[in-house]
Amino acid sequence: METVEKTTVEVLNPTEHQSILTAEALTFLSLLHQKFNLKRIELLKNRETQQEVFDQGFSPKFPKETESVRNSVWTAAPIPEKLLDRRVEITGPVDRKMVINALNSGAKIFMADFEDSCSPTFENLMEGQQNLIEAIRKTITLELNGKTYKLNKDTATLLVRPRGLHLEDKNLICNEENLSGSLVDFGLYFFHNVVELQKQNLGIYLYLPKIEHYTEARWCNEVFEFAQNYFKIPIGTIKATVLIETITASFQLDEIIYELKNHIAGLNCGRWDYIFSYIKKLKSHPDFMVPDRDQVTMTSPFMSAYSLRVIQVCHKRNILAIGGMAAQIPIKNDEEANKIAFEKVKADKEREVKNGHDGTWVAHPGLVSLAMKVFDENMPTKNQMHIKRGELNITEEQLLELPKGTITENGVRKNINVGILYLESWLNGTGAAALYNLMEDAATAEISKAQLWLWLKKEVKLDNGILVSKTLYEKIIQEELVKIEEYVGAERFKSGQFELATRLFSNMINSEKLDDFLTLEAYNYIK
């Protein structure tokens, strides 16, 4: 490693995980902060500037300045063997039990998540880093309820998703500034594991969330180059898959791949955040409206166009196109309901593989075999990069087409109910919440929040003729809190943080301005 001037990172929250926050690791974090944080803040300001343009009625477009990138012939650097077959990926937070079970699930890939399915308490984050260190070295075990959990001989390949550019870590301070959550998660994981992974002929494999513009991909690339040079290891040791989960990124696929061409392995259709982004970016357009969350599916024209474009552009540039999340989880003690849920998952995965996707996501180990069977039957090769979809011509208009459907009282109730339940779970340190037989994370809660805000702001009428108003919301919130208490039980309701969650959620949906992310405000209330 190169010699560097020591700069202090102050740790505000005492932690048992001193082996994670070593002097050398903190020095590495301080270097990342000093070199890249100012640019990160500038990129976030660019997002705000762009939002002001959208709020004036303008729509996303294919950038004119990068036309040559889109139209010229080039491909990304080769993908490592371990990442060529990704037909089923399981995702989940970085707690010990999840890490072991996911790696043992039979999936090809496990995405260990510091982002949307992880409540970023300092303990969760540090424990997560420790769990990954042990997982990579095959030493991770867990004793729980008389059962011993340990890794099988063959496990899924590990990918890690750091927090997005917008999130800071209030527990780590450098030069009186909070460190970037993305740099902390990446920096610690890279620092502690890159040498060991190289010994195993593996690399640092990542997922990059919430990217909105190709300049943000360029920033990530510069971080990667710096980290690799710092450890004097080959460029390309890091391989990243970018989540296409913002509407603006959909218009810049070639550009994002190009900026990361030495470090990119694929793009993923992060469908839930994508719907949230669609609402957030276009909310001020006069005729803009979206129906109930359940009615916005991958068959909605704008969602289908986005998914197909990801496949087309990925395969043109010789990288993988990974499909979206099946949020369903197995339903115990109700065989009929479980059968219906599994049929939905099967249909979703069949559509993805037949469209040309190279893999897909599930949230629960119980769905791995189903998804695997669908892809095995329809994809005999490691991937489908040979299917170029050159016949497609996805237009700007198709990517923006408004979804059809209705806004119902049931949709309002569901958004309020699930929004409060999820936020309360997150405040308690659990970022992946099993609610009503679905695995909810921050992305799905963001849709609930954004829809409710939009419907109120635009004073829409429900399909039963009732006007959406603050009075209606307040009435429904009180009624749904009764249902929530029944759902979780009186004792859990009393001991939980439902009052705080309700207040925060109500403030967000009644706010004059749509909050960028619900987790930004809620983060003030966790350690």
pLDDT in tens, 27-81: 999 999 999 999 999 999 999 999 999 999 999 999 999 999 999 999 999 999 9
Residue 3, pLDDT score: 44
Q: Give residue-wise pLDDT tens across range 455-497.
A: 999 999 999 999 999 999 999 999 999 999 999 999 999 999 9
The pair of three-digit structure tokens given for residue 322, joined into one six-digit string: 């990974």
Answer whether residue 4 shows pLDDT above 60.
Answer: no
Q: Is 76 in contact with 254 (CB distance < 8 Å)?
A: no
3-state secondary structure of 10: strand
Structure-token match 């039957």, residue found: 377
Q: Can 19-398 and 407-525 be said to share one CATH topology?
A: no
Between the alpha carbon of residue 6 and those of residues 12, 34, 37, 186, 474, the distances in Å are 19, 12, 17, 20, 54
DSSP state letter for 152: -
Count of CB atoms within 10 A of residue 506's CB?
18
Average pLDDT, whole number, for the chain? 96
Question: 104 with 154: CB under 8 angstroms?
Answer: no
Stretch 92-108: mean pLDDT: 98
Token pair 């043992």 is found at 104
Q: Is 231 exposed, middle or buried (0-12, 13-18, 19+ CB in 10 A)?
A: middle
CA 494 from centroid of its chain's CA atoms: 31
Confidence band, pLDDT 50/70/90 cuts, at residue 8: confident
Amino acid 377: pLDDT? 98
Q: What is the pLDDT of residues 176-204, one digit of tens each?
A: 999 999 999 999 999 999 999 999 999 99
Distance CA 316, CA 456 (A): 42
Calculate ∠ Cα 389-391-395, nearest 5°: 95
Residue 167 half-sphere exposure toward CB, CA atoms < 13 A: 28
402, with CB counted inside 10 A (0-12, 13-18, 19+), is middle
- Which one is the CATH code of 19-398: 3.20.20.140, 3.20.20.360, 3.40.50.12280, 3.40.718.10? 3.20.20.360
Model confidence pLDDT, tens digit, residues 355-406? 999 999 999 999 999 999 999 999 999 999 999 999 999 999 999 999 999 9
| C-beta of residue 426 within 8 angstroms of C-beta of residue 519 | yes
pLDDT given at position 333: 85
pLDDT at 79: 98
Mean pLDDT of 87-104: 98
pLDDT, one tens digit per residue, over 413-452 is: 999 999 999 999 999 999 999 999 999 999 989 999 999 9
β-strands 433-435, 438-440: how paired?
antiparallel
Residue-wise pLDDT for 209-234, tens only, equals 999 999 999 999 999 999 999 999 99
CB 106 within 8 A of CB 511: no
The pLDDT, as a whole number, for residue 1 is 42
Catalytic residue among 40, 47, 96, 161: 161
Residue 5: per-residue pLDDT: 54
Instruction: Find how far residue 27's CA is from the centre of its chain.
Output: 28
Taking the complete model, does pTM exceed 0.75, yes or no? yes
In this structure, what DSSP letter does residue 11 have?
A: E
Token pair belonging to 125: 């984050």
**pLDDT greater than 90 at residue 14:** no
161 is catalytic: yes
DSSP string, 352-400: HHHHT-SEEEESSGGGHHHHHHHHHHH--SS--TT---TT----HHHHH
- Catalytic one of 113, 254, 348, 441: 441
**How far, in Å, are 67, 245, 272, 323, 417 from residue 253 at the CA level?**
12, 11, 18, 15, 35
pLDDT tens digits, one per residue of 141-177: 999 999 999 999 999 999 999 999 999 999 999 999 9
> How far is the C-alpha of 94 from the C-alpha of 131, rounded, in Å?
7
Q: Is the pLDDT of residue 6 over 80?
A: no
CATH architecture of 407-525: Up-down Bundle (1.20)
Is the four-CA dihedral 116, 120, 124, 128 of positive or negative sign?
A: positive
DSSP letter for 21, please.
Answer: S
**What does the DSSP 8-state code read for residue 467?**
B
Domain segments of the chain as ranges = 19-398, 407-525
Closest CA to 347 of 387, 297, 386, 385: 297
